Amino acid sequence: MNNIKPIRTKADYRAALREVESLMSAKANTAAGDRLDVLVTLIEAYERAHFPMELPDAVDAIKFRMEQSGLTVKDLEPVIGRTNRVYEILGRRRPLTLRMIEGLHTKFGIPAESLLKQRVERG
């Protein structure tokens, strides 16, 4: 096996992806498994630097968690308030309060960073 080196170029990145693909069946705690772990870490660092992802806004984050966890509007009521309030939030007609943000983060594990990004549409 050749030495692992930093990923500095697109060519390095593509080569690392190809190698990871060939190592996908490697067992943990083996030389190949260790190599896979190190390469994945290097790829993640390169992707974070070169392909930064925007966090979703609050409503997108809530809708994603609802879909992911099979939650309903009724499930959100203890944290947000009555049904009409939940729909106002999901329709971007009302901003989340700090209490709602805290509850959504604590009860449903939605990242606070996303909950703080709010777009309220007037109209």
- pLDDT, tens only, 18-61: 999 999 888 989 999 999 999 999 999 998 888 877 778 999 99
Average pLDDT over residues 67-96: 96
Same domain for 70 and 42: no
122 belongs to a structural domain: no
Same domain for 105 and 66: yes
This prediction's pTM = 0.56
Average per-residue pLDDT for the chain? 91
* Structural domain that includes position 24: 10-50
82 belongs to a structural domain: yes
Same domain for 106 and 63: yes
Q: Phi/psi of residue 41, each to 5°?
A: -65, -45
Same domain for 106 and 71: yes
Nearest to 42 by CA among 114, 76, 34: 34
Same domain for 68 and 22: no
